[in-house]
Structure 1
Amino acid sequence: MVLSLVSLCAREVVSDHSSSPGWLRWVPGELYRPLLEAAFTSRRPLAVGELVQRWPERTLRVGGRRKRGQTAPNRLCIQALLLAVVRGLSDQRCALQVLELCGLQGDEGGMGDPMGGWSLTVALCTMVVQARAGAQRAQRREGERERKRFSALERERDVKRERGQWKRGKEPNLDEASTDNKELESERVGLCGIVGEEELIKGVRRRMEIERKRESAVTGSGGSRKETEEKDIHNEVLVHVRADLFVNARSWERVRVALSTLGPLKLQCRYLRVEEISVSSIRTLLDLLPHQGLLGIDVRYSSLGVAGLAELLPLLSTFPALSSLRLHYCNLDFRRDQSGQEEALRDLSLGLAKLKELRRLSLTALRLPGQLRVLLSSLPQPLEILELPYLSLSPADLAYLSCSHHVSTLQQLELSENRLDEITLPSIRRLLSQASSSLQHLSLSGCGLTDGLLGLLLPSLGGCSGLKSLALALNPLSMAGLMNLVRMAVRMPSLRHLLYPNPLEDYQPGLPDLPSSAQLLDWPLDEATEINMTSSQLNRVLIDSGRSDLFLTCDLLNYDKDLMD
């Protein structure tokens, strides 16, 4: 990556924090962005904090989709960013009104110590609560200063009034006072008692009237001071914070408090990911989220059941922009013989029909064989992304999918760990033919594709003119079958990423004739075999074909099609 002159200069400027007081006051607003990017890249949290606290623009976006090889921002830099946002609320130089942090989170424990989704969510919630507490303290201090100022003015007026009354009265004779001190003292006490009581009553009434007018002017409707503070804090949202939230049982209460907190920071959610929480807790979170901003929800490892999901879907339909629904390991098992399952499945279908903008549907390990038609046919709009791994799809499911109204618009299809054979192969070939012009990403990992089955499927795969990534890991292919796959791949001009399986020759002896994907994943590779020989043979095919833009890998754990660009 070639850096521009501005980026190189920005890195040099932020590298020396001791010089920041000298240049920060003179930096024009258009240079804040490259300076902040340089501070993140160079991992300079102090520079990040100073720049954000003085941010001159209305909007600040940090995060988003990262390019291949680009790491997520450092944890310390993110923490400095959040602290600076809170400090900037009281800094007149800060013009920030919208903070975009969507896509900022990285993988926990990754390179460069990034902040994961759960940690970032907790930090954001803490920031929102701290900002409210700070606003309340500032409001109380301002109120206390106003009361002290009012009391000082009242005392000054009382002193002036008493001095004026003393001057209008008769001055005492010192000789008479010395000869008849007791009589004068008694007269003075009596006079002060009469006049002082009248003035005291007038003063108290006047102060009560002024205080009542002041309270009425502040509240507008005679409300209590606490209610007034709540209204003031609610009406003065200074910064809207938009982020992706990751909520589990440990952070649920903290997120609930932050979403229901009224203060200078308003937390909004773009994508919500929840893990291991109940249906009622998910409902509570959805009730607290603004209905306009939510684009997707991802539910994982939560025992929803068919009835629980059917209960949530009507609430999801109230989010007009919701385009993504992902359900992973949510205990939706239709094979169990339980009463009411048929009715719950009908409710599930009706609920899906209300999701007017849904474009992505991911169902992982839900065990609903034979029910794909019931689910997908109810969707009003065709899907662009469909992920169905570990779904135990039946031949009837694949036959329906190959001729459904979704197939011609699919851009991404995930069918991994669904067993394919001679019976289902015609449906897959018809599906690929129908989706050939739109399909960009395809995963058939762990589908039991042998050399023979793959050979029958290669012509259909080669016809997908827009395919960018293809995943075929954990399929029992020999070296000959793998070479045929790569020779087909180099003839696909749009293909950029191929995840191929280790050939059977690279494993230690003892594998069954037709090993499953689990056996291929756990079986050790043969150290005596020159595994690099496989890679070199495949790369030789690339070189001979002139395809330097095609990336081949067998690394299943680090494969990520989203970072391909």
Structure 2
Amino acid sequence: MAAAVPSLLALCARRVVSDHSSSPRWLSCVPRELYRELLEAAFAHCRPLAVGELVRRWPERALRVGGRRRAGQSPPPRPHRLCVQALLLAVVRGLENERCALQVLDLCGLQCEEGGMADSMGGWSLTVALCSIVLQARVESPKGTRREKERKRLSEVKREQDSIFKRERSIEKKAHTVTENSGEVQPATEQHEMEEDLSKGVRRKMEMAQETGGMKGKHTLPEVDAVPERVQVWADLFVTARSWERVRMALSVDGPLRLYCQQLRVEELPASKTVALLSLLPRSGLLGLDIRYSSLGVSGLALLLPALAPFPSLSSLRLHYCNLDLRRDVPGQEGMLRDMALGLKELKNLRQLSLTALRLPGHLRMLLSALSQPLEVLELPYLSLTPADLSYLSCSPHASSLRRLDLSENRLEEVTLPSLRRLLSHSSSSLTHLSLCGCNLSDGLLGLLLPSLCDCRALRVLRVALNPLSRDAVLSLVSAACRIPSLQLLLYPSPLEDYQPGLPPAPSSAQLLDWPLSEELEGRDALQVQLRTVLSENGRSDLLLTSDLLNYNSLLHEED
């Protein structure tokens, strides 16, 4: 409760930013140490005018807004879209403000995800807005902006100083030549007077250069590179076919704002446009690439993967519904698959690989064995995995390092159960998230799997929804979950008894998803009472149980 009580500083900051008409008074005297608190208050209470005034005069080199959640912490509140727009406009206006010291603007994690607040700014909207201000800054940035003037002034001073030094050396050389030609050694006083007379004009010009250039000493000059020529803007970009051209232009222009990307998400783009976009991104900083609903095919993916090799920090690759189906007999397909494996081999720092609905039965060994480092996150839903695939995975170098594993919608049978149990045994000390949704787990298969699940001592989240389980099997699942001390969330399936009559004897996950639940609440209420009893008997009030597929994720603050 104490953590929720605002501090006196936060209360004062809220009061200060509440009245925009008073901003000229407090902005002129507020110390730089309070800018951050005032900006947070302006964001929290939707004061876009105050946001603009503060950012336009931002006194520090870096400004971070938003940010991702940390483990065990609630996500930071998403600023109102009006505040975000005011922030972006203020960054452009701050380019000509002498009080603004901003050089790095970090907006990574600022955009709201799907299902966020209506007044927040989504990833696509934020990307378009960012590209607009980058282009606007390039157009509106005159040749005489503050930073450009400073750069030119320092360049002129440096050229003048170099000229003075050259002339001084020339004068000294001439004096030395005259002395040697005369064959006489002049007295020290006479020689000193001659040098002083020769360098009189030089010293005067040095003094003038010092006054105009702001030098602290006679021979001290700030380096030209010390004055930033641009502001680095870091963000997560979300690009679609509608915004691709604008993003391409923003990454191509050379202006006072330079756009950097940490997480790139593209949707409905062909491989050629995605590759073109990657060629424009700065090589440093890109951590993840998320491609969705793009008809890449095997040839497109073979073209895309080599374009990722120049990004040394890339650690996450996600491919969702990219129309990659290797079940069909296509000429040259095996060769392109080998090219894909070679492309994955060049991603030296890859730690997360997500392949959704790519239909790669029997090819998992070829792809994963090419990786140079073990994966920590592996998501393979709707991949039509074969027993051979699961057998390889259970003995692969990745098994002992996995933190997250998603095998949803891959049919598990009795023949594949030994491989799955071996996989869970190897990853028992590292695995924190496991998803087995829609895997055709029956009561019998679940009973054989429960001992292996209980051995996963680090497991925090377990998802087994959309499996055809009876009410007794669900109770056995919850009882086993209580014996996993680290488990915080269990997404269990609605038991078969809770559905309306007519459900097939061995329903698929799609049928369970579409089939309506019974309108009678007595059976479901009885199950809830039994589940609470199981939790109470095992002393697990900290374990969250839910069958809500849509909202279960909001019950737990996941890791970064």
Q: TM-score w.r.t. structure 2 length?
A: 0.81
- Aligned to 1:502, which of 484, 494, 498? 494
Q: Distance in 1 between matches of 2:328 and 2:260?
A: 39
The residue identity in structure 1 corresponding to 2:94 is G
Q: Any stretches of 5+ residues in structure 2 without a counterpart?
A: 153-223
- Aligned to 2:552, which of 534, 559, 564? 559
Larger radius of gyration: 1
- Aligned to 1:535, which of 506, 528, 533? 528
Q: Is the 8 A contact 1:74 1:112 kept in 2?
A: no
The residue identity in structure 1 corresponding to 2:140 is G
Give the structure 2 partner of residue 155 of structure 1. Answer: none
Deviation at 1:85, TM superposition (A): 0.9
2:117 matched to 1:111?
yes
Q: Distance in 2 between matches of 1:373 and 1:267?
A: 38
2:39 matched to 1:36?
yes
Deviation at 1:25, TM superposition (A): 2.3
Give the structure 2 partner of residue 84 of structure 1. Answer: 90
Give the structure 2 partner of residue 482 of structure 1. Answer: 474
2:331 matched to 1:339?
yes
Cα 1:15/1:352, change in 2 over 3 Å: same
SS of 2:302 mapped into structure 1? helix
Q: Is the 8 A contact 2:68 2:76 kept in 1?
A: no
Deviation at 1:89, TM superposition (A): 1.0
Q: Distance in 1 between matches of 2:26 and 2:449?
A: 63
Cα 1:60/1:236, change in 2 over 3 Å: closer
2:259 matched to 1:267?
yes
Q: Distance in 2 between matches of 1:548 and 1:14?
A: 43
Q: Distance in 2 between matches of 1:31 and 1:236?
A: 24
Q: Is the 8 A contact 2:237 2:264 kept in 1?
A: yes
- Aligned to 1:130, which of 136, 144, 148? 136
Give the structure 2 partner of residue 59 of structure 1. Answer: 62
Q: Which runs of 4+ in 1 moved over 6 A?
A: none
Q: Distance in 1 between matches of 2:95 and 2:119?
A: 28
Give the structure 2 partner of residue 164 of structure 1. Answer: none
Deviation at 1:21, TM superposition (A): 2.8
Deviations 1:19-53 (A, max 9, x none): 33332222222222222222222222222222211
Q: Distance in 2 between matches of 1:112 and 1:484?
A: 41
Deviations 1:321-368 (A, max 9, x none): 111111111111111111100111111111111111111101000001
Deviation at 1:376, TM superposition (A): 0.3
Q: Is the 8 A contact 2:103 2:228 kept in 1?
A: no
Give the structure 2 partner of residue 376 of structure 1. Answer: 368
Q: Which moved more, 1:323-332 or 1:44-53?
A: 44-53
Cα 1:272/1:435, change in 2 over 3 Å: same
Give the structure 1 partner of residue 21 of structure 2. Answer: 18
Cα 1:541/1:305, change in 2 over 3 Å: same
Q: Any stretches of 5+ residues in structure 1 without a counterpart?
A: 147-231
Q: TM-score w.r.t. structure 1 length?
A: 0.80
Q: Is the 8 A contact 2:68 2:75 kept in 1?
A: no
Q: How many residues align?
A: 476
After superposition, residues 354-503 of structure 1 pair within 5 angstroms as: 354-503=346-495
Q: Distance in 2 between matches of 1:261 and 1:69?
A: 34
- Aligned to 1:3, which of 2, 5, 8? 5
The share of aligned pairs that are identical, in percent, is 67
The residue identity in structure 2 corresponding to 1:89 is L
Q: Distance in 2 between matches of 1:429 and 1:528?
A: 38
Deviation at 1:533, TM superposition (A): 4.0
Deviations 1:228-278 (A, max 9, x none): xxxx9xx96331001111111000000000000111100011111111111
Q: Distance in 1 between matches of 2:372 and 2:454?
A: 31
Q: Is the 8 A contact 1:108 1:115 kept in 2?
A: no
